[in-house]
A = this chain, B = another copy of it.
Amino acid sequence: MTYDKEKLLKIVKKTEQPEIACLERLIAIPTCYAKGHDMKPMIAQLTEEFEKREYKVQTFPTSGAPVVVAEMDLGMDKTLLFYNHYDVQPEEPLDEWKSPPFELRSRNGRLYGRGVADDKGPIVANIFGIQAALESDYEPRCNVRFIIEGEEETGCLGIEEFCNANPELLKSDGCVWEGASAVPGQRSELYTGVKGCVYFELRAKGFAVDAHSGDAPIVINPAWRLVWALSTLKNQNEEILIDGYYDDVVPPKKEELQLFQQYPPDAIDPYKQKYKTEKFLLERDGMEFWTELTLRPTCTICGLSSGWTGPEAKTVVPKEAIAEVDFRIVPNQKVERVQKLLREHLDKKGFADIEIKLEEGSYEANKTPFDHPFVKLLASLAKDFSGKNPLIIPSAGGSGPAYLFGKHTPWASCGPVDPECNVHAPNESISITELRYMTALIGATAIELG
The reply to whether B207 and A277 contact each other, CB–CB distance below 8 Å, is: yes
**Interface flags, A74-113, vs B, CB<8A=1, else 0:** 0000000000000001100000000000000000000000
Q: How far is the CA of A399 from the CA of B350 in the complex (A)?
A: 32
Q: What's the nearest-Cβ distance from chain B to residue A275, in Å?
A: 4
Are B302's CB and A304's CB within 8 A?
A: no
Most chain B CB inside 10 Å of its own CB: which residue of A213, A314, A398: A213
A312 within 8 A of B: yes
Within 8 A of B (CB), among A174-216: 195, 197, 199, 207-216
Chain-B contact segment, one of A53-61, A230-238, A337-345: A230-238
Q: Mark A406-450, 1 if CB is under 8 A from B, else 0.
A: 000000000000000011110000000000000000000000000
The answer to whether the Cβ of A309 comes within 8 Å of any Cβ in the partner chain is yes
Task: Please report A residues at the B interface, Cβ cutoff 8 Å.
Answer: 33-34, 89-90, 154-155, 195, 197, 199, 207-221, 223-224, 226-228, 230-231, 234, 236, 238, 271, 275-277, 280-281, 284, 289, 292-293, 296, 298, 300-318, 321-324, 326, 328, 350, 359-361, 396-399, 422-425
- What CA separation (Å) do A293 and B271 show in the bound complex? 51
A324 touches B314 (CB 8 A): yes
Given contacts A207-B275, A422-B209, contact A223 B312 (CB under 8 A): no
A289 CA to B275 CA, complexed, in Å: 50
Q: Do A304 and B301 touch across chains, with their CB atoms under 8 A apart?
A: no
Supposing A209-B275, A276-B208 touch, asked if A322 and B309 sit within 8 A by C-beta, the answer is: yes
Contacts A155-B312, A209-B275, A213-B398 known; list 14 others, CB within 8 Å.
A212-B424, A213-B300, A214-B328, A217-B292, A220-B281, A223-B302, A226-B304, A227-B230, A227-B231, A302-B318, A303-B309, A305-B305, A312-B360, A313-B326
Q: How far is the CA of A320 from the CA of B314 in the complex (A)?
A: 20
Please, which residue of chain B has its CB at the minimum distance from the CB of A311? Answer: B34
A300 vs B217: C-alpha distance when bound (angstroms): 9
Residues of B within 8 A of A308 (CB): 302-303, 324
A208 to B425, CA, bound (A): 12
With beta carbons under 8 angstroms apart, the residue of B90, B215, B321 that contacts A293 is B215
Q: Is the CB of A276 within 8 A of B207?
A: yes
Contacting pair B212 A301 (CB below 8 A): no
| Residues B275 and A425 in contact, CB atoms below 8 Å apart | no
Bound CA span A210–B213, Å:
32
By a CB distance below 8 angstroms, the chain B residues around A284 are: 217-218
Contact A281 B219 (CB under 8 A): yes
Bound state CA distance, A154 and B397, in angstroms? 45
Mind listing 25 A-B residue pairs with CB under 8 Å? A33-B312, A34-B312, A90-B310, A199-B313, A207-B275, A210-B425, A214-B399, A216-B397, A217-B284, A218-B280, A219-B275, A219-B280, A223-B301, A223-B303, A227-B227, A227-B230, A231-B231, A302-B308, A302-B315, A302-B318, A303-B309, A308-B324, A313-B361, A314-B324, A314-B424
Q: A324 to chain B: which residues have CB within 8 Å?
A: 307-309, 313-314
Interchain nearest-CB distance for A429 vs B (Å): 13
A87 vs chain B, min Cβ distance (A):
11
Cα of A280 to Cα of B217 in the assembled complex, Å: 9
